Amino acid sequence: MSDIPEPTFTTPTTPLTEEELAEYQQKLTDWNQELETYAANLDSHDKSRERALDNRKNAEIEYDKLIVYLAGGGLVLTVGFIKDITKAAKTTDVGWLLGCWICFALALLVNLVSHALTRMAADALLTDAPNWKNLDKKVNWANWTCLILVGLGIFVFLVFVFLNFPAHA
């Protein structure tokens, strides 16, 4: 709280004249106005920070949902692709499909780990534990890993489709 404005005057030790008393009261009023302005700015900052935290929380919730939807949907899509589209065709390069499934499954698993790490980081922050920053870094790592795994799963599936589409035609 070193940003709190300090009074720029000292309390008089001798009796004051009416003029000195009026000047002293004006300085006191000015200082009170500065303090009120500071308090209003601090309140505004706190509200902005609270809104930013709410927005971040909502974004994290939506991110986690998207990862689950994409990875789970990717698994369903690839199984459906094999079952319905390539049943009449000779499926080749199944390793690409297996790689796709592994990427999507790992993305879902890492997303679960991310949820656990998020809870642990929040608990550590609330209890002023010194390791909360390290846990928060691990949450970020897990989120990026999920994104990369889903992207890689989509890419690997597209390679599989490209390699097997001519076999279907």
User: Percentage of residues in the chain with pLDDT exceeding 70?
Assistant: 84
- Report the pLDDT value the prediction gives residue 26, as an integer from 0 to 100: 86
Q: Given this model, what pLDDT does residue 10 score?
A: 65
Predicted local confidence at residue 126, as pLDDT: 80
Produce one character per residue of 4-30: b if its CB has 16 or more CB atoms within 10 Å, e if not: eeeeeeeeeeeeeeeeeeeeeeeeeee
pLDDT band at 3 (very low <50, low <70, confident <90, very high): low
b/e code 104-135 from CB counts within 10 Å (16+ = b): bbbbbebbeebeebbebbeebeeeeeeebeeb
pLDDT of residue 144: 94
Number of H helices, E strands in the chain: 3, 0
Query: Which residue ranges make up each domain of the chain?
Result: 59-168
The CA-atom distances, in angstroms, between 107 and each of 97, 101, 113 are 15, 10, 10
**Average model confidence (pLDDT) across the chain:** 81
Give the model's pLDDT for residue 146.
93
Q: For the segment 24-79, what is each residue's pLDDT rounded down to a tens digit? A: 888 888 888 888 888 888 777 777 777 777 777 787 788 888 888 888 888 888 88
More confident residue, 127 or 81: 127
What is the Cα–Cα distance from 39 to 62, expressed in whole angstroms? 35
Q: 98-112: per-residue pLDDT in tens? A: 999 999 999 999 999
pLDDT at 113: 92
At residue 155, the pLDDT reads: 95
- Report residue 67: phi and psi, to 5°: -60, -45
pLDDT band at 118; cut points 50, 70, 90? confident
Side chain identity at 60, as an amino acid letter?
E
